[in-house]
């Protein structure tokens, strides 16, 4: 098993080399001097390697803890590399799915359904009023933030209605909804 003193004493060579710790954990020493934690395992007879970070950003104890978590996933039949890839894809997708993107898709749906041009124009105008939250990932917008944005529009006297009526009231959650956000 490795110690921190042994790790700090490692010197790079012309070719990358591995220094084993235990239970599949090893340190890959790059010619550039980078020290990279890797966990080697087999799943369905295929050897895989999981990147755990670089030393000293990931300490020896942290690397061992990450290895233990990955081993527990393996016991449950989960491939740690695939799980990490899925988490990363899910996070990227969540970050790319903004309020504006979802609203634009809804407006396009209204256009396909043959809604009147005035209705489409009002929806786009209302989206402009919500520009404070429009570029944020939809999953990160809380009910409180949406309620606050709608109340600001209402205070300004914003209206999305056609014949002079104030339809912002219809779009603004009622007091019951506001209490539910608490």
Which domains does the chain show, CATH number per domain?
Answer: 4-95 (3.30.160.390), 99-181 (no CATH)
Residue 16, classed as helix, strand or coil, is coil
Residue for token pair 């110690």:
3
Predicted local distance difference test score (pLDDT) of residue 134: 84
pTM assigned to the model: 0.57
Gap between the Cα atoms of 161 and 164, Å rounded: 7
Residue for token pair 């809804």:
106
Predicted local distance difference test score (pLDDT) of residue 132: 80
Cβ–Cβ < 8 Å for 63, 35: no
Q: Per-residue confidence at 138, pLDDT binned at 50, 70, 90?
A: confident
Decide if pLDDT at 180 tops 80: no
Gap between the Cα atoms of 95 and 76, Å rounded: 29
53-91 per-position pLDDT tens digit: 999 899 999 999 999 999 999 998 889 999 889 999 988
- Give residue 74's Cα distance to chain centre: 24
Q: Is the peptide bond before 56 cis (omega within 30 degrees of 0)?
A: yes
């Amino acid at each position: 098993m490795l110690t921190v003193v042994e790790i700090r004493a490692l010197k790079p060579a012309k070719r990358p080399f591995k220094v084993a710790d235990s239970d599949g954990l090893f340190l890959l020493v790059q010619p550039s001097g980078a020290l990279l934690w890797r966990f080697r395992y087999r799943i369905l007879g295929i050897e895989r390697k999981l990147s755990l970070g670089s030393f000293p950003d990931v300490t020896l104890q942290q690397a061992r803890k990450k290895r233990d978590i990955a081993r527990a996933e393996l016991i449950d039949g989960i491939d740690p590399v695939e799980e990490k890839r899925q988490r990363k894809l899910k996070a990227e997708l969540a970050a790319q799915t903004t309020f504006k993107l979802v609203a634009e898709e809804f407006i396009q749906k209204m256009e396909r359904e043959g809604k009147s041009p005035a209705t489409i124009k009002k929806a786009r105008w209302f989206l402009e009023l919500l520009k404070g939250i429009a570029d944020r990932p939809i999953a990160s917008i809380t009910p409180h933030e949406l309620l606050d944005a709608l109340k600001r529009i209402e205070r300004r006297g914003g209206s999305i209605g056609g014949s002079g009526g104030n339809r912002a009231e219809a779009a603004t959650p009622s007091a019951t909804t506001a209490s539910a956000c608490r």
